[in-house]
A = this chain, B = another copy of it.
Amino acid sequence: MDTAFELNSQYRNDILASLPKSKDFTDHLNQVSKNRAASSLKELYKYQNVPGMIVMAGGIPHPEVFPFETLSATILAPDAFPLDPPRVPKKEKSSLLSWLFSAPKPTLNISIPKWAPKPVDPTTIQLSTSLQYQAATGPPALPLFLREYVSKIYKPAYADWDVLINNGNTDGWNKIVQLLFEKGDTVLVEEWTYPSAVNAFLPYDIQSVPIKMDKEGISPEHLEKVLSEWDEKARDGRKRPKVVYTVPTGQNPTGATMEAERKKKLYDIFAKYDIIIVEDEPYYCLYTGEWTPKGSKSDKSILAQRNAEAEKKEGKEGNEAFIKALPPSYLYFDTDGRVVRLDTFSKTSAPGSRLGWFTANPLFIERLTRISEVSTQAASGFATALTVSSIQKWGFDGYIRWLRGVKATYNMRKTWICDAFQDTFHLEWDQAHVQDLFPNGSKTITCYSKQPKNKWDEKKGLNGPGLVTFTPPTAGMFVFLGVHISEHPDYVELTRKGEDATHVLVQRLWTQLADNLVLFAPGWYFDGGGEHAIGGKGYGYFRLSFSIATYEETYRAVETFAKVLDKFFKLN
From residue 534 to 572 of chain A, which have CB atoms closer than 8 A to chain B? 543-549, 553, 556-557, 560
- From B107, B354, B548, give the contact of A58 (CB < 8 A): B548
Contact A549 B72 (CB under 8 A): no
The residue in chain B whose Cβ has the minimal distance to the Cβ of A382 is B382
Contact B547 A61 (CB under 8 A): yes
Residues of B within 8 A of A64 (CB): 99, 409
Contact A545 B75 (CB under 8 A): no
Residues of B within 8 A of A115 (CB): 96, 99-100
Residues of B within 8 A of A132 (CB): 350-352
Residues of B within 8 A of A196 (CB): 373-374
Judged by a CB distance under 8 angstroms, whether A134 is at the interface is yes
Judged by a CB distance under 8 angstroms, whether A35 is at the interface is yes
Contact A376 B171 (CB under 8 A): yes
The residue in chain B whose Cβ has the minimal distance to the Cβ of A477 is B59
Judged by a CB distance under 8 angstroms, whether A432 is at the interface is no
From residue 455 to 498 of chain A, which have CB atoms closer than 8 A to chain B? 477-478
Judged by a CB distance under 8 angstroms, whether A103 is at the interface is no
Judged by a CB distance under 8 angstroms, whether A33 is at the interface is yes
Give the complex CA separation of A33 and B58 in angstroms. 34
Contact A55 B351 (CB under 8 A): no
Judged by a CB distance under 8 angstroms, whether A186 is at the interface is no
From residue 28 to 60 of chain A, which have CB atoms closer than 8 A to chain B? 32-33, 35-37, 40-41, 44, 47-48, 50, 52-60
Contact A67 B60 (CB under 8 A): no
Contact A62 B548 (CB under 8 A): yes
Give the interface segment out of A1-9, A199-207, A312-320, A325-333. A199-207
- From B57, B168, B352, give the contact of A130 (CB < 8 A): B352
Give the complex CA separation of A66 and B355 in angstroms. 14
Judged by a CB distance under 8 angstroms, whether A15 is at the interface is no
Judged by a CB distance under 8 angstroms, whether A133 is at the interface is yes
Residues of B within 8 A of A44 (CB): 519, 521-522
Contact B69 A70 (CB under 8 A): no
Contact A354 B375 (CB under 8 A): no
- From B65, B200, B347, B355, give the contact of A406 (CB < 8 A): B65
Range, interface on chain A: 35 or more
Contact B61 A351 (CB under 8 A): yes
Contact B54 A81 (CB under 8 A): no
Judged by a CB distance under 8 angstroms, whether A418 is at the interface is no
Contact A353 B375 (CB under 8 A): no
Residues of B within 8 A of A67 (CB): 75-76, 80, 349-350, 390, 402
Judged by a CB distance under 8 angstroms, whether A340 is at the interface is no
- From B56, B60, B546, give the contact of A56 (CB < 8 A): B546
Q: Digit string of A91-106 for contact with B (CB within 8 Å is 1, else 0)?
A: 0000010011000010
Residues of B within 8 A of A75 (CB): 67-69
Q: Closest CB-CB distance, A374 to chain B, in whole Å?
A: 4
Residues of B within 8 A of A66 (CB): 349-350
Judged by a CB distance under 8 angstroms, whether A249 is at the interface is no
Q: Closest CB-CB distance, A68 to chain B, in whole Å?
A: 5
Contact B380 A379 (CB under 8 A): yes
Residues of B within 8 A of A543 (CB): 57, 59
Contact A378 B350 (CB under 8 A): no
Judged by a CB distance under 8 angstroms, whether A346 is at the interface is yes
Q: Closest CB-CB distance, A287 to chain B, in whole Å?
A: 15
From residue 346 to 368 of chain A, which have CB atoms closer than 8 A to chain B? 346-347, 349-355
Contact A171 B375 (CB under 8 A): yes
Contact A376 B373 (CB under 8 A): no
Judged by a CB distance under 8 angstroms, whether A167 is at the interface is yes
Contact B352 A518 (CB under 8 A): no
Q: List 30 A-B contacts (CB under 8 A).
A: A32-B204, A33-B203, A35-B203, A44-B519, A47-B514, A47-B519, A53-B517, A54-B560, A56-B544, A58-B521, A58-B545, A58-B548, A59-B547, A60-B547, A67-B349, A67-B402, A68-B73, A68-B390, A69-B76, A130-B352, A133-B346, A168-B377, A170-B374, A199-B374, A352-B380, A352-B381, A352-B385, A354-B378, A354-B381, A382-B386
Interface residues of A (CB under 8 A from B): 32-33, 35-37, 40-41, 44, 47-48, 50, 52-76, 80-81, 96, 99-100, 105, 107, 115, 119, 127, 130-134, 167-168, 170-171, 174, 195-196, 199-200, 202-205, 252, 346-347, 349-355, 373-383, 385-386, 390, 402, 405-406, 409, 413, 477-478, 514, 517-522, 525, 543-549, 553, 556-557, 560
- Would you list the 8 A-B pairs with minimal beta carbon distance, nearest first? A352-B381, A380-B380, A131-B352, A382-B382, A131-B350, A35-B203, A66-B350, A200-B374
- Sample of 20 more A-B contacts, CB < 8 Å, known A96-B119, A352-B378: A44-B521, A48-B519, A54-B557, A56-B520, A58-B521, A59-B547, A60-B545, A64-B99, A65-B406, A67-B75, A69-B75, A131-B350, A171-B376, A196-B373, A200-B374, A350-B381, A352-B381, A354-B378, A354-B380, A355-B380
